[in-house]
Amino acid sequence: MMKAPTTWQITSGHTDYDFALATMRERAAAIRAGTAEELVWLVEHPPLYTAGTSAAASDLQEADRFPTYQAGRGGQWTYHGPGQRVAYVMLDLQKTHGSIPPRDIRCYVAGLEHWVIVTLKGFGIKGETRAGRVGIWVVTETGEKKIGAIGVRVSRWVTWHGLALNVHPDLSHFDGIVPCGIREHGVTSLAALGVQASMDEVDAALRDNFAAIFG
C-alpha cells in the first residue's frame, strides 16, 4: 500500500506534555481507523523529564527539579524543554514509506536516526549512530555527546512519539537525570557546537529531509 502525503503541524509556544500525549493517542487511533492523515507534529515543551518503559528510578537524580511524566514510549529518561525541537511522528507502518518497508520497526527507527543525521549535515555537523546506543551522537573535543534522542511507540502498527533534537536548550537541565541511562557520555546542542540556527531554520531542514527518507 502506498501512503498519502503526510500532514505537517508546527505548534508555537510550549506544549503541555499531557496534552501532547492525549493528542498523539487520539491521532494514532484515527490514522488506524482511516479517518485522519499521517502527521509530523513539531513542538517545544516546558522543562520536564519523561520516563520510558525501561527507565530506572535511580536515573532520576533531581526528582523535584522539573515535572516528571510516564511517557509510554520505549527508552529511559529524557529531558524536554525550550530550545529543543521535538518531532512527534505518527505513521501507519502497514504502508511503505520511502525506503522504509512495511511492518519493519527496526528500519523505521533507523530512518528516524538517518533523518536527524542528514539534517545535521546541512548545518555542518557530523551526526553518528553507535551500536547499542539509540540516538544521534557527535564527537567533540571532550568526548562523544548526544545531540538527538529517539523514543518510539508503535500501537497496532501506527507510530507515535518520535525524536528530540537539541537546538539551543539549557544543557544544565539535563543534569537532573541520567539521559537515556548513559552515564559515560554527555549531551550537546547545535548552539554548543557553534551553530546559531533558529528553530525555523531547523524546522525547514527537517521538513526538506523527511521526504527523502520517508517519501
pTM of the model: 0.96
pLDDT at residue number 54:
93
Q: Known catalytic residue: 107?
A: no
146/180 Cα distance (integer angstroms): 10
Q: Provide the 3-class DSSP secondary structure of residue 137.
A: strand
DSSP 63-102: TTTS-EEE--SSSSEEEE-TTEEEEEEE-BTTSBBTTB-T
pLDDT at residue number 180:
77
pLDDT at residue number 12:
97
List the grid coordinates of 173.
537541565
pLDDT at residue number 5:
74
Q: Provide the 3-class DSSP secondary structure of residue 195.
A: coil
CA angle 38, 40, 45 (to 5 degrees): 140
Spans of the chain, pLDDT less than 50: 1
CA angle 206, 156, 148 (to 5 degrees): 30
Number of other residues whose CB lies within 10 A of the CB of residue 143: 10
Residues 6+ apart with CB under 8 A from 210: 6, 40, 115
pLDDT at residue number 133:
87
Residue 80 half-sphere exposure toward CB, CA atoms < 13 A? 32
pLDDT at residue number 38:
98
pLDDT at residue number 185:
86
In the set 180, 182, 190, 205, the catalytic residue is: 180
Q: Are strands 143-155 and 186-187 parallel, antiparallel or unpaired?
A: parallel
Q: Which domains occur in the chain, in start order?
A: 7-214 (3.30.930.10)
